[in-house]
Amino acid sequence: MLVTGNDILIPAREGKYGVGAFNTNNMEITQAIIHTAERLRSPVIVQMSEGAVKYGGQDLANIVIDIATRATVPVALHLDHGSSYASALNAIKMGFTSVMIDASHHSFQENVHETRRVVEAAHAMGISVEAEIGRLGGVEEHVVVDEKDAFLTDPEEAVAFVDQTNVDYLAIAIGTSHGAYKGKGRPYIDQARIVRIGELLGIPLVAHGSSGVPAEITQRFRDSGGEIGEAVGIADEDLREACKHGIAKVNVDTDLRLASTVGIREILQASPKEFDPRKIFGPAREVMSKIIEHKMGVLGSVGKA
């Protein structure tokens, strides 16, 4: 069933588990996300970035909404990194049940102002809202506290932000970053900061940049002719820990991009005569499903729907 973000994330925060928010750009990705969620009895969030809205538009939103409506588990359709009031309202008009307004690169006051406008409009229509405070980016473990404080989310500021905006869930900067290169070795996550923010705020917290970039997938990518450097993601154990302390929405895009490309590369390499799209995109869907299944297991959302 199609539900709001709050319907999924409030129970997750209370139950101390995380829910995957997976980015989609086409039908196969959407099917992999929702059908895996059904198989595992897990709630799930399907998200479209503004780039995905541009690429797939209402056609893609309708595919998500249709599969979600018929699904036997709760599914929300979320706008990822909405950059403006107009963009958030447009998503609501398209049928999204959750929107992010990301004004985190503006000043605190401007971020509050933009977020509050979106919250007022979205709440009037029963739609829940995510906002972000702090700047995403990898940190080295040995970096001094002052430097971390310069861009990671300040706990007191987070409380003031939520008080002033009435936002439903909050993305916090804790050391994660977008993409396939999140640092060296095991990327540093500021668990103490999550604990502190989780103690001060009862609303669901959001971790962006949470792909695991599994070594098995990057190796298969290379083995099938792809080129990728020292790619590294967030360790499963670190995400598991984060979900115990308030992280309820866990954003994953890179892992599905890699998985789908691996599926396509492997089949094209193994069967050069193949040109039936179902034989090409079908295996990609399978590889994505495995990644999603693993992530849902790590986050603890399996069996929660």
CB atoms within 10 A of CB 274: 11
| Of 50 and 141, CB closest to ligand 13P | 50
| Of 73 and 100, CB closest to ligand 13P | 100
Closest to 252 in 3D by CA, of 58, 11, 36: 36
Q: Is 97 in the site for ligand G3H (CB under 6 A)?
A: no
Q: Is 211 in the site for ligand 13P (CB under 6 A)?
A: yes
Does the active-site annotation cover 80? yes
Q: Which of 39, 41, 123, 178 binds ligand G3H (CB under 6 A)?
A: 178
Site string for ligand G3H, 230-269 (x = CB under 6 A): -----------------------x----------------
Q: Which does 98 bind (CB under 5 to 8 A by kind): ligand 13P, ligand G3H, Zn ion, none?
A: none
Q: Which does 211 bind (CB under 5 to 8 A by kind): ligand 13P, ligand G3H, Zn ion, none?
A: ligand 13P
Binding segment toward Zn ion, per CB under 5 A, in 7-15, 17-25, 207-215, 284-292: 207-215
Q: Return the residue matching tokens 């977020």.
A: 115
Q: Which does 51 bind (CB under 5 to 8 A by kind): ligand G3H, ligand 13P, Zn ion, none?
A: ligand G3H
Q: Which of 23, 24, 260, 261 binds ligand G3H (CB under 6 A)?
A: 23
| Of 104 and 281, CB closest to Zn ion | 104
